[in-house]
Amino acid sequence: MIIVNDKMQHNYIYERVEAEGANFAADFKPELTPKEMLELGVFEGHYLNDCREEFPASWFENAKLSPLHPDVNCNCFKIKSRLSLSEWQKRGWIYPPDVRGWFQWYCRYYMGRRIPAVDAVQIKRWRAFKRHKAQIEKNCRMLDFECRPKQRQALLQWAYNPFF
């Protein structure tokens, strides 16, 4: 049992029922692990700073973090590519119990938590995001990382490999 107490959740309890990084839904094949995402640079380095106890310490060893405030220089493509949490809340994109959004869900799912109804919604959202990869493939030359950097950063933040 995992007990979460951080700035945004108090006494949230969940169980890890699968092995770390294993037994994903058949239609969910992320291209990057949470550790790889954090090392490459996501969410301006300011996403999981206050909830590190919930996840493996190894995820944070080489992570690009900015504990005091968001910093676009921590992002892989050095560009802001996200809406604020308040905007996600306003648009109805936050699904309890993951009050921080999709990446928090993915981290918990990766660690073995399963909530079938929530998982189905988040996996559907992840699959829909792949359209951005198709747009880059259609409009950019292979390995031209300066082409559509905002979309590439967004792909990275949804566990898609932006380097193609």
Distance CA(78)–CA(72), nearest Å, equals 5
pLDDT of residue 89: 85
Q: Does some domain include residue 60?
A: yes
Q: How many domains does the chain have?
A: 1
CA angle 125, 122, 143 (to 5 degrees): 50
Predicted local confidence at residue 120, as pLDDT: 98
Q: What is the pLDDT of residue 88?
A: 79
Q: Residue 14 forms beta bridges with which residues?
A: 2
Is 138 inside any structural domain?
A: yes
DSSP string, 73-124: GGSTTSS-----HHHHHHTT---TT-TT-HHHHHHHHHTT---HHHHHHHHH
Residue 162 lies in a domain: no
**pLDDT of res. 66:** 94
Write down the pTM of the prediction: 0.94
Residue 9 domain-assigned (yes or no): yes
164 in a domain, yes or no?
Answer: no
* pLDDT score of 136: 96
Q: Tell whether 85 is covered by a domain.
A: yes
Helix (H) or strand (E) holding 127: helix 116-129
The upper half-sphere exposure of residue 76, i.e. CA atoms within 13 Å in the direction of its Cβ, equals 24
Q: Which domain holds residue 75?
A: 2-156
Element at 155 (helix H, strand E)? helix 149-156
Q: For residue range 23-37, list pLDDT tens digits in order.
A: 999 999 999 999 999
- Whether 8 maps to a domain, the answer reads yes
Q: How many CB atoms lie within 10 A of CB 74?
A: 19
Which ranges of the chain have pLDDT less than 50?
none
Please check whether residue 163 lies inside any domain of the structure. no
